[in-house]
């Protein structure tokens, strides 16, 4: 599967957090998240492993009680079933890959 730039629709997950599901296969899904300064992804967990790359901006993560700030060029991997949240300290763009595919994120 290929995805051409600007060929996918985005949707709001929570206030100030927008997801564009880019591509997916049988085992992974890649999405782009745009998060406006001050927006937050509330504390949650899911069975999916989540691997991310910070394209631009700055996020403060809380992963299992450990606080980390991510800046452009930083990356992470959050194991499945681990509670985590994020707060945008600046307007941010993040690319994340989920395995297995997050069915709720499919277009």
How many domains are contained in the chain?
1
Q: How confident is the model at residue 56 (pLDDT cuts 50, 70, 90)?
A: very high
Domain at 15, CATH number: 2.60.120.10
Q: Is the pLDDT of residue 5 over 80?
A: no
Q: Is the pLDDT of residue 49 over 80?
A: yes
Give the mean pLDDT of 8-27: 93
Q: Is the pLDDT of residue 30 over 80?
A: yes
- Residue 19 bridge partners (DSSP): 11, 33
The answer to whether residue 41 sits within a structural domain is: yes
Q: What is the pLDDT of residue 2?
A: 82
Query: pTM of the entire structure?
Result: 0.92
- Domain holding 42, by residue range, is 11-102
- Dihedral (C-alpha) 10, 14, 16, 21: value to the nearest 10 degrees? -20
The answer to whether residue 92 sits within a structural domain is: yes
Structure tokens at 78: 């959050």
Q: How far apart are CA 26 and CA 100, in angstroms?
A: 8
The answer to whether residue 61 sits within a structural domain is: yes
pLDDT tens digit string along 72-101? 999 999 999 999 999 999 999 999 999 999
Q: How far apart are CA 1 and CA 17, in angstroms?
A: 25
């Amino acid at each position: 599967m290929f995805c051409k730039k600007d060929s996918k629709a985005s949707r709001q997950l929570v206030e100030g957090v927008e997801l564009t599901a880019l591509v997916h296969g049988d085992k992974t899904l890649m999405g782009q998240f745009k998060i406006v300064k001050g927006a937050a992804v509330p504390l949650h967990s899911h069975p999916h492993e989540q691997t991310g790359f910070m394209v631009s901006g700055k996020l403060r993560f809380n992963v299992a009680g450990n606080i980390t700030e991510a800046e452009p060029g930083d990356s992470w991997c959050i194991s499945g079933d681990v509670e985590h949240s994020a707060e945008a300290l600046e307007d941010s763009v993040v690319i994340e890959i989920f395995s297995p595919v997050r069915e709720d994120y499919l277009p």
